[in-house]
Amino acid sequence: MAGERLKTVRSRWRNHWRQMLGVAVLTTTLAAAWHQLDVRLGGFLEEAERSTYDTVVTRFTQRPEVSSQVVLVAIDQLSLKDIRANAQYALNFGNWPYSRNLWARVVEQLEAEGARAIVLDAVMDERGTDESMDLAFAQVLQATATPFFLGVSTHANAPRLPPADFSAPPPTEAPAADVLDAPRPSTAEETFPEEAGSETFMEEASEGVLPSVTPEQVARALAFPVRTDGRALPALDYETSSGERLPSHPVQPIPVLVDAVDGFGLVEPEADADGFMRRTRFVYSDGANAFATLPVRVAAGLLGASAIELSGRTLRLGSRAYAVDADGSAGIDFGGQLHDRFTSVPLISVLDAWVKRSQGQPTGLPPDVFRGKVVVIGGNAVGLNDVKATSFSSHEPGVVKQAAVLDTLLGSGRFITRAPLWASLALVFGVAFASAVLLMTTRWTPLEIAWPLGLYAGMSWVTGPILGLTNTYVLTALPALAGVLASVSAVAFNHLVANEEAAFIRQAFSRFMEPKLVEQMIAQRELPRLDGENVEITAFFSDIRGFSSFSERFKDDPRKLVRLLNTYLTRVSAALLKEGGCLDKYIGDAVVCLFGAPMRQADHALRGCRGALAAKAAVDRLREEFRAQGLPDMYTRIGVNTAVNFVGNFGSEQLFSYTAIGDGMNLAARLEGANKAYGSVIMIGPRTYELAREHIEVRELDRVRVAGKTEAVTVYELLALKGGLEARKRETVERYHAALALYRAARFEEAAAVLDARRVEDPEDGPTQALLERCQRYAKAPPPGFDGVANLDK
């Protein structure tokens, strides 16, 4: 069965591969056009691609290991609560947002813990209510050897900075530096409660004129040199409610920090249209200057990069190179949720550690938790409203983006990049072609339903392993959509072919089968394999005994002969069609009919037997009609055999028909002719008897050997349906079987005696007379090497 199915698939491929290829090419072209249009308009396909991207990323890029490069100091709900509940903390630092002397204490403690760098995922662009605290914070930053980096936001109303001149040396005379470097009497003191050690810590704050900076200094501090291959950098802009895009510019930090901070970086949200953070750009431009994002500015400072280089699909920072997309962006490799990927220490723990260290007590922090790490300070408290969505979670602190990008820049160096469009289109073509081939060769209805449904869900298991191994994302929704389109086209083609086949079957078989059977065959999709298949069928052969003599009577009136013959063929054919037979052909007066093909019939053997009995009965009635009209007698002999035969369309380009060939068909024809030697009317083969024996009455005639074959087969005379045999004929059959047993034992005289006695009671029984004559002949001259098998000559 599997072999036949494979032949069918191969045949359909051979006949329709051009159509399959055409479906794939057309589908790929439509998908590519849709993709290009959708990218510009941001429609359904773009949304679907984002959804599948999230599925693939979360399934194939999640990693269990914690970052070895980045540690978080979390401004969490616990820290906000404990600082507010601590009277001395509340007095010295106030409520959120805290005065900047708190950040000075945090910076001092992190430096003491051996931090590699400190990154504050926040902006400081408004002066504090006590500006001496701003000055004090700047003093700490200048005195600290640990690099400190700060965020910068953008706004449409921010003034545009002049172009930064990185070719000139940094200014050597800066009023801000003079003020910051000169110690001043303290204007504030921080006192901590008794349980903290009853110590008093004096803040070396500055008095006097606040520092000022020029726009050129600010530009030089915020901007960063970028070298490109001529590409345009993404613009700093925002979209209005009307859809218009207007330029924006960096908001300048407070002047006192301009020369105190080691580097500033943009903290743009960089969210997709649905609000999820998936991708990042590394540098932006406002038309006058280029501004690095905060993680890039930190990495550039730590890697000693004097400029950012963007060339082709490569980003360079110093000696390190990173693969990015052609537009200079890349997907963020989060690797999981924030709490799974990064060690997090509450802000209150760091602040308490500073107090304890100042009192000479153990800090209580995990050993070396910050040593050699880049510490990113960011909020994850609900009240800070810094909640963003990523592929892994719809509620993540915004600091996850800075931490993940920085971890990639300093660690693995592998962002998630898009595969070239040609690679995605190659997958689109492959999926479309596979869909067309699969559905157009199998033509299996459950698969036609399941395949398109499974494509969308299953495509991630094709692109996912690629992403997991190479950090390259191949478009996933587009191939799935193309596969669905190809599947719909293939199903439409299948229905078109099925309709054409049904029309052909209806036309080809309506003359040879009952119309209702033809329609049933089409409705049940039991269409025949017109290119041929091996099927077990039951073949019917009939012929008119002495047709030459019969036709001789009408040599002067051939038209009458034709009318009589047509009447005969019509009666026999009607009997066969009523039993579900398929008329194969007429060969002169001979009728050939098939049961079990083209429509599968589990009871084809029984149908063949019923058809043979019905044909005999129809001929018997016709004989009576002919006798009443004074016409010559017409006697029919029938052969029925069941076997596996090759059925299909046979013939030439000019003429072909549906028929069967094989040894089984040959034996059926031989059985029809053998009736003459046995005096029987209907002779059936052994397989027919085996399948229908519970429903028919038979006489075992003999064991015969067909010409060209060495194996003997048992043949039977079909007498009636079960229970329909007359008592007299049953007695004749029993006597025949008894004589046949004696005959096979070479007891010819005894067998002849049994048959001769029965001949008187049933003188018209042909098989009895035939076997009697053979026994009498063998009794006089026994054949040499007798084995009880008769040779059935051609």
Q: Is beta strand 696-706 parallel, antiparallel or unpaired with respect to 712-721?
A: antiparallel
**Could you report the per-residue pLDDT of 731-765, keeping only the tens digit for each?**
999 999 999 999 999 999 999 999 988 777 888 89
* Segment 47-69, tens digit of pLDDT: 889 999 999 999 999 998 999 99
Condensed to tens digits (0 to 9), the pLDDT of residues 188-216 reads 345 554 333 333 333 444 444 556 889 99
673 and 571 both lie in a single domain: yes
In a domain, 522, yes or no: no
Looking at the fold, whether 360 and 487 belong to one and the same domain comes out as: no
Do 405 and 428 have their domain in common?
no
- Which of 725, 741, 764 represents a domain boundary (last residue)? 725
Pair type for strands 472-473 and 417-418: parallel
The pLDDT value given to residue 185: 34
| pLDDT at site 766 | 92
DSSP assignment of 729-769: HHHHHHHHHHHHHHHHTT-HHHHHHHHHHHHHH-TT-HHHH
The residue range of the domain holding 196 is 70-159+177-415
Backbone angles phi, psi at 183, to 5 degrees: -65, 140
Q: Give the amino acid at 67.
A: S
Between CA 371 and CA 376 the distance in angstroms is 13
For the cut 80, the answer to whether the pLDDT of residue 502 exceeds it is no
Average pLDDT score over residue span 324-343 = 94
Domain contains 150: yes
220 pLDDT more than 90:
yes
Cα separation of 511 and 288, whole Å?
87
Token readout for 641 is 């055999």
What's the pLDDT band for 183 if we cut at 50, 70, 90? very low
Give domain status of residue 678, yes or no: yes
Q: SS3 letters for 255-318?
A: HHHHCCCCEEEECCCCCCCCCECCEEECEEECCCCEEEEHHHHHHHHHHCCCCEEEECCEEEEC
pLDDT at 177 over 50: no
- Tally Cβ neighbours within 10 Å of residue 469: 9
Same domain membership, residue 776 and residue 671: no
Report, as an integer, the average pLDDT of 327-340.
94
Whether residues 222 and 345 share a domain: the answer is yes
The reply to whether 550 and 618 lie within a common domain is yes
What does the pLDDT read at residue 775?
A: 94
CATH code (residue 642): 3.30.70.1230
The mean per-residue pLDDT over the stretch 317-340 comes to 94
pLDDT tens across 5-45, in order?
Answer: 777 788 788 888 999 999 999 999 998 888 888 766 667 78
Predicted pLDDT of residue 499: 67
What does the radius of gyration of the chain's CA atoms come to, in whole angstroms? 49
> What pLDDT, on the 0 to 100 scale, is given for residue 526?
56
pLDDT band at 285 (very low <50, low <70, confident <90, very high): very high
Q: Are 44 and 74 within one domain? A: no
Residues 27, 122 within the same domain? no
Number of neighbouring beta carbons within 10 Å of residue 641: 30
Domain boundary pick from 504, 538, 573: 504
- Are the beta carbons of 366 and 315 closer than 8 angstroms? no
Residue 252 inside a domain? The answer is yes
% of the chain residues with pLDDT over 90 = 62
| pLDDT for res 197 | 35
* pLDDT band at 524; cut points 50, 70, 90: low
pLDDT of residue 514: 57
Structure tokens at 784: 């040499």
Q: Read off the pLDDT of residues 402-458 as tens digits, 9 standing for 90 and up.
A: 999 999 999 999 999 999 999 999 999 999 999 999 998 888 888 988 998 898 778
Name the least confident of 99-113, 140-154, 378-392, 715-729: 378-392
Decide which of 725, 741, 770 is a domain's last residue. Answer: 725
Does residue 230 surpass a pLDDT of 50? yes
In a domain, 516, yes or no: no
pLDDT for the residue 181: 43
Number of domains observed in the structure of the chain = 4
pLDDT at site 211 = 66
Q: Tell me what the mean pLDDT of segment 665-683 comes to.
A: 93
Based on the domain organization, do 704 and 730 belong to the same domain? no
* 385 within domain boundaries: yes
Query: Do 776 and 688 have their domain in common?
Result: no
Pull the structure tokens for residue 683: 């002779």
79: in domain? yes
In a domain, 664, yes or no: yes
Residues 410 and 460 in one domain: no
Q: What percent of the chain has pLDDT over 70?
A: 87
Separate counts of helices (H) and strands (E) for the chain = 26, 33
Q: Is the pLDDT of residue 359 over 70?
A: yes
**Co-location of 400 and 491 in the same domain:** no
- What CA–CA distance (Å, rounded) separates 685 from 500? 38
Q: Which of 179-183, 666-670, 782-786 has the lowest mean pLDDT?
A: 179-183
